Amino acid sequence: MGTFAVIPLCLLLASNALAITIPSTPTWPSGRCTDKSLTIPSWVIKNYKVAAGTATFRADNRASESGGGFIECYPGKKECQSSATADQMTVTWTDGANGNKVISFSQFWVCGDEGEKVIFTATGNTTITSCASSDCTSPITYLAPGSLALPVPLTPSQPSPPAGYLAPTCANVGKNQWTVSSVEYKNYTRGQCKQWYIEDQVCIDPPTYSYKGQYLNLVVYNNAISHNVSCSFVAGSGNYNLPSPLRCTGGNFNEITLDVTFSGIAPNFNLKVEEVWYCLENPATNVNSSVILASGNVPIPMVCESHTGVTGTSDDIVTICTDRVSSHVVDGVQVEKRILDPYSLVTAYPVHGGCTFDSIVNPTFYYRGMFFQTKPFSANDKDNVTLSRITVGLSGPGFADFFFYESKPISGSGINTVYSCSVYGDGKPIEQHWNCTYSFNPFTKVITQDKVWQCSDKDPKQPIYFDGSGAFDWSKNPYVDCTNPDNTLYCYWYGDTVSSQPGIPYTIPKVTASLVNVLPPKNLAQVLGKTVRVNGKWQKASDVGI
């Protein structure tokens, strides 16, 4: 290929208007006691003051709107006095590292916002960092994250703040805001493929090819927060032109968001940088993080070379541009700055429902598509009957359309035979399987079910394993057709409810929650740390003899 003179390449011109926006801050609405208790169990300490060695402050439970009170802590006494007796709040005040005090909470409260009352118990603690003497006033509030013991053993995970939010320079906007490096630009007026199977979609040339369009690579480093972003655009089928602006990363709250706009005519280009980042200024006296939006421009003169592409036609021009220098300094201008609510960056987003919620509040099994046939049995000894076929679609909290069939019996005999409904042919390792057993009385049409499921929506690193069990009477649905061919019993259910999602609902009489999986068929988990729901009430398993 020969080298041709550089030809002008017109790019979309940058708009003067900002394309980037500061994401809105998720805020929890009033109420939602159950959702908050399962997601953000925690306490906020306000107005912390020490006078003559006695500490006073107010503590508010963020989950329960009535769960707060005035606290007094006295020298030499571990347990503090609390006015929050209605919600059974216990507060202790102990010595921690570096002379700082540690405040610990243990509290009992009840949420009834979802119809039935759910009892919560939780513990948590925090360290007082800005008031260490016998006479002082803290300039900041404190957050004590909590861990639940009831209704389930759970420490909900909270988001981590973005990179650089505690950097001493994180609020700096101005000179040397960004460093831009590794700038590369390419443009193909035609796709680099000699034989297209589908034009500009599927190339049959070995081994590589390129779509027509623009290609860009660069790296943007924010010096205020020491944060690097690699940004690139690769042309694709139906997506040939460089977006203006190009979103490099982020877009959601609590994420560093970067947009760049690359414009101009080769070899003289211009780069516009827009970025949103977060900053906690003066953390010893401030708990309100801020979010900053800044913008800057820099010329990018490049060295460009053009040549004919692989097709050899006059309209097939490949242009490759490389940066004249290794990096560029971009000054920034602050466009907007907002002050966030306290602890916004470390508080889980508002949610309603979910796997854990549904497993605790009115846990329900749904059955659909039921069908069974027994093996031949004697009319004089019906209790000796066993299944030859069964098909069931089971849905529940956190899982849907778990279909199971008659499988190898694991215990019992006759009508009391217990079958395994665990699924092993899914390619998952053994620790990702859950216990599932059932027995079935074909004459009363009652299935006795035991099914384990996993919920990881509150803490992906530490799932909760729920074990639901009970007897479920399928005869409550009258749309069933049964025949008795050759001394067997054959039944199937029909109708819209049993044929469609989710199926016929049955409240699960007993649910046990544990941090340890119950593997099929008999590898039972330890009782330690379990809770159990019996007759609609969650309790510690040890309290009910399990």
Model confidence pLDDT, tens digit, residues 112-141? 999 889 999 999 999 999 999 999 999 999
Rounded to whole angstroms, how far apart are CA atoms 399 and 252?
28
Task: Determine contact, residues 226/193, Cβ cutoff 8 Å.
Answer: no
432, containing H or E segment: none
The pair of structure tokens assigned to 448 is: 């006795």
CA angle 253-30-162, nearest 5°?
A: 20
| Residue owning tokens 């769960």 | 67
Residues contacting 55, CB < 8 A, separation 6+? 48, 49, 71, 72, 73, 80, 93, 101
- Supply the pLDDT for residue 539: 80
Instruction: Tell me phi and psi for residue 102, to 5 degrees.
Output: -115, 125
The pair of structure tokens assigned to 281 is: 């200024």
Mean pLDDT, rounded, for 463-486: 94
Model confidence pLDDT, tens digit, residues 406-459? 877 889 999 999 999 887 666 677 777 788 999 999 999 999 999 999 999 999
- Supply the pLDDT for residue 86: 52
Local confidence band at 7 (pLDDT 50, 70, 90 cut-offs): very low
- Supply the pLDDT for residue 536: 82
First-to-last CA distance in the chain? 80
Say whether pLDDT at 544 is over 60.
no
Local confidence band at 542 (pLDDT 50, 70, 90 cut-offs): low
| pTM of the full structure | 0.85
Instruction: Kindly list the domain boundaries of the chain, sorted by start residue.
Output: 33-150, 178-342, 355-543
CA distances from 87 to 35, 61, 110, 248, 272 (A): 18, 10, 8, 48, 55
The pair of structure tokens assigned to 36 is: 């908050």
Rounded to whole angstroms, how far apart are CA atoms 449 and 446?
9
Rounded to whole angstroms, how far apart are CA atoms 492 and 372?
7
Task: Determine contact, residues 180/270, Cβ cutoff 8 Å.
Answer: no
Rounded to whole angstroms, how far apart are CA atoms 317 and 60?
67
Nearest to 492, CA basis, from 483, 478, 481: 481
Rounded to whole angstroms, how far apart are CA atoms 132 and 95?
10
Rounded to whole angstroms, how far apart are CA atoms 530 and 122?
15
Nearest to 358, CA basis, from 254, 468, 449: 468
Mean pLDDT, rounded, for 510-518: 93
Strand-pair category, 464-473 with 446-455: antiparallel
Local confidence band at 108 (pLDDT 50, 70, 90 cut-offs): very high
Rounded to whole angstroms, how far apart are CA atoms 482 and 135?
82
The pair of structure tokens assigned to 168 is: 């001493």
Rounded to whole angstroms, how far apart are CA atoms 240 and 269?
19
- Supply the pLDDT for residue 95: 94
**pLDDT cut 70: percent of the chain above it:** 92
What's the mean per-residue pLDDT of the chain? Answer: 90
| Residue owning tokens 């389930």 | 152
Say whether pLDDT at 242 is over 90.
yes
464, containing H or E segment: strand 464-473
